[in-house]
Structure formats: C-alpha cells, structure tokens
Amino acid sequence: MNNMKENLCEDEWSEIQQRFDKEGLDFKNLSPEERILHVWRWLVDAESNLRSSRKMLDKLRELQSEEMEEMESYMCHIRELAEERAEHLESETESLRSRLETSQHHAATLVNLLRQSGVRGASEDSISEQVILMMYHGMTVLVVD
C-alpha cells in the first residue's frame, strides 16, 4: 500500500516538474516559495477559466432556450398555416364537388330533354355538343313551326 502511494506521489511530482518545464521554468533552480507561487497562479488562472467557462455555458444554455422557444413558435405558425391551407382545400373541394354534382345534374337533364325530343346518341356526347344539338333541334322545331 505504501509503495502505491509513493508511486502516485512520484507520478504527481513528475507531472509538476513537466508542467514547470512546459511553462519554461527550471524547477530545480526555483526556491520552494517560488514553486508554490507559480502553482498558486496556475490555480487562480484555472479557477478564473472555470468561472468564465461556466458563464459561457450559462449563456449558451440561455441562447439554446431562446432558440427552442423561437423554433416552437415557428412550428406553431407553420402548423396554423397548414391547418388554414387544409381548411381552404377542404372548402374548395366541397365547392368543386358541388359544382360537379350541379354539372352532372344539368347534363342528365339535357340528355333527358334530348331523348324526349328524339335526338339519339346524346348521352355519349359532351355537354357542349349536347347543348349545340339541343339548340339546333330547337331551331329546327322553330323553323318547322
């Protein structure tokens, strides 16, 4: 157990010496007070960096929250537009269905009128052809009368 502690301490002292070397300081030529002063400065810098990082993280979280609210608002707006569009299309579909039913009713009425007046093949013709036939037939009836 004691051997492990010694190894850990040796590793830590080795890391401290490497840090001094990395900072361009000669560990062996510094007094213990100077070493402590440098370690203290590193600790203060690390604490300052940690505070700055926490502030940045808080700002990022706040920004993310604002962006999420904006995204939710945008999604609600898009949903409303989609619902309005769907309602409009449903209304337009109903209108077109009604017009189609009216046109089909008129076409059926024309076919019946043409059949009653003796015109054959009217059911296969388009509505415009049926109207022309009916007008022609009506004129013929008027001319004959």
pLDDT digits 0-9 by tens, 92-106:
999 999 999 998 898
- CA separation, residue 111 to residues 26, 81, 107 (Å): 110, 44, 6
Mean pLDDT within 65-76: 98
Verify that 70 and 27 share a domain, yes or no.
Answer: yes
| Residue 89: Cβ-neighbour burial (10 angstroms; 0-12, 13-18, 19+) | exposed
| Separation of alpha carbons 76 and 68, rounded Å | 12
Whether 92 is in a domain gets the answer: no
**Does residue 22 or residue 117 have the better pLDDT?**
22
Whether 130 is in a domain gets the answer: yes
Whether 46 is in a domain gets the answer: yes
Instruction: Give 140's pLDDT tier (boundaries 50, 70, 90).
Output: low
Contact 38, 30 (CB under 8 A): yes
Whether 145 is in a domain gets the answer: yes
Q: pLDDT at position 73, please?
A: 98
Domain edge (last residue) among 85, 111, 137: 85
Verify that 127 and 81 share a domain, yes or no.
Answer: no
pLDDT tens for 3-46 read: 766 776 888 889 999 999 999 999 999 999 999 999 999 999 99
Whether 134 is in a domain gets the answer: yes
What is the domain count for the chain?
2
Whether 95 is in a domain gets the answer: no
Verify that 58 and 18 share a domain, yes or no.
Answer: yes
Verify that 81 and 107 share a domain, yes or no.
Answer: no
* Residue 83 clears pLDDT 90, i.e. is over it: yes
DSSP code of residue 119: -
Per the structure, the complete domain to which residue 122 belongs is given by 103-145
Q: pLDDT at position 77, please?
A: 98
Whether 71 is in a domain gets the answer: yes
Mean pLDDT within 81-98: 98
**Phi, psi (rounded to 5 degrees) for 2:** -65, -35
Q: What is the pTM of this model?
A: 0.51
